[in-house]
Amino acid sequence: MSRAAKAVAAPDLGAPAAFVLLRHGETALTPEKRFSGSGGSDPELSETGRRQAERTAAALAERGTVEAIVSSPLKRCRQTADTVAARLGLDVTIDDGLRETDFGAWEGLTFKDVRERFPDDMDAWLASPEAAPTGGGESFAAVAERVAVTRDRLTAAYRGRTVLLVSHVTPVKTLVRLALGAPAEALFRMELAAASLTEIAYYADGNASVRFLNETAHLR
């Protein structure tokens, strides 16, 4: 190898920690687009959601790359994770850092409901990641801080391995946003379907690469 080639050769960072991010399957609230966070009724998967979990499990089994499973503690994620775990023969680790945003008084309401009942709070929430939902909810800034801490802990624990993280819309979008170095408003510009798959690779030098986003082919 020439001296010039040696100068530009990239360091060997080893295999990254690869996070396959799975949004839980549908609940009864999902098709109605109601706020469903960590401060609400903790709904179960619907019949559609259970079918989605089964199809996702089959697709992940076919890929054969997942080595561990970590899930949000909320019921819809645990049910989704358990379905995949049964198919892959793996255990599920619960991590509270993967839980959904607490939407406070907005839990169970539609966007229209919130706009009508709490217009000023809604405007503030849409304008700033520091603003929290009415009634002691969790701001996007608070979620980002929690998710970043969780990311760092899990990447250290699973360096060089492929891990399935079963979580929710906001944590998954936040991980993507942080990986891309995108602003907070990027959360409103991503589509993330129920039971969709997203993957991010995290390297030892701190860099991250989004491999794919909102993959749903396995559900068709």
Per residue in 19-44, pLDDT tens? Answer: 999 999 999 999 999 999 999 889 99
Residue 162 inside a domain? The answer is: yes
The DSSP H or E segment spanning 214 is strand 208-215
pTM for the full model? 0.93
pLDDT in tens, 151-167: 999 999 999 999 999 99
CATH code: domain of residue 163: 3.40.50.1240
Based on the structure, what is the number of domains in the chain? 1
- Low pLDDT (below 70) residues in the chain: 1-12
Find the catalytic residue in 44, 47, 54, 100.
100
pLDDT at 208: 97
Residue 170 inside a domain? The answer is: yes
pLDDT in tens, 177-193: 999 999 999 999 999 99
Residue 14 inside a domain? The answer is: no
Residue 210 inside a domain? The answer is: no
pLDDT at 23: 98
pLDDT at 8: 52
> Domain of 135?
19-205
Residue 12 inside a domain? The answer is: no
Distance CA 12, CA 6 (A): 13
24 catalytically annotated: yes
Residue 10 inside a domain? The answer is: no
DSSP code per residue over 111-139: HHHHHHH-HHHHHHHHH-TT---TTT---
